[in-house]
């Protein structure tokens, strides 16, 4: 591959990741998030096969439902560095990411803290091909089980 072609390929790849990086201000300082991940994290996560759910759509929007509450629209992203590479901790058979989400609509019960960015754990379990949010809502990935 010629040096010019290699440079263009690297530039396009870098721009692709950079376009999906969002800088957010959290209670704990500035963070960077992306909706790009090497695992298929988009989809619907169920609690024991039912509600409450979390729905992560491509492009960083979706729904988050707390126990005994209605689904609410959110924007979301996986914590990453400034260039868009997701931050994670590798375990024996899993990877742990931080999912940040923020409600996009306000209810009469919400205060400013409710409308801020919230972090929750997202773990990808490689052997069982399951992804968990907060350790209780899950979806299966790979093959026919993926939606």
pLDDT 10s digits, 18-57: 458 999 999 999 999 999 999 999 999 999 999 999 999 9
Task: Give CA–CA dist 54/42, Å, rounded.
Answer: 10
- Here the tokens at position 73 are 């629209």
**Given this model, what pLDDT does residue 80 score?**
97
φ, ψ for residue 18, nearest 5 deg: -65, -30
Strand partners, 131: 124, 139
Higher-scoring residue by pLDDT: 145, 63: 63
**Given this model, what pLDDT does residue 19 score?**
58
Residue 33 Cα distances to 21, 22, 25, 61, angstroms: 6, 5, 11, 12
SS3 37: coil
Whole-model pTM: value is 0.83
């Amino acid at each position: 591959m010629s040096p010019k072609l290699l440079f263009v390929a690297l530039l396009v790849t870098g721009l692709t990741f950079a376009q999906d990086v969002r800088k957010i201000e959290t209670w704990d300082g500035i963070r960077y998030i992306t909706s790009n991940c090497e695992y298929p994290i988009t989809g619907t996560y169920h609690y024991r096969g039912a509600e409450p759910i979390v729905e992560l759509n491509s492009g960083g929007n979706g729904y988050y439902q707390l126990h005994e509450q209605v689904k609410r629209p959110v924007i979301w992203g996986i914590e990453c560095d400034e260039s868009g590479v997701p931050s994670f901790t590798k375990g024996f058979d899993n990877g742990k990411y931080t999912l940040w989400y923020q409600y996009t609509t306000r209810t009469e019960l919400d205060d400013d803290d409710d409308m801020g960015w919230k972090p929750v754990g997202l773990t990808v379990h490689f052997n069982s091909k399951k992804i968990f949010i907060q350790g209780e809502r899950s979806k299966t990935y790979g093959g026919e089980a993926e939606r």
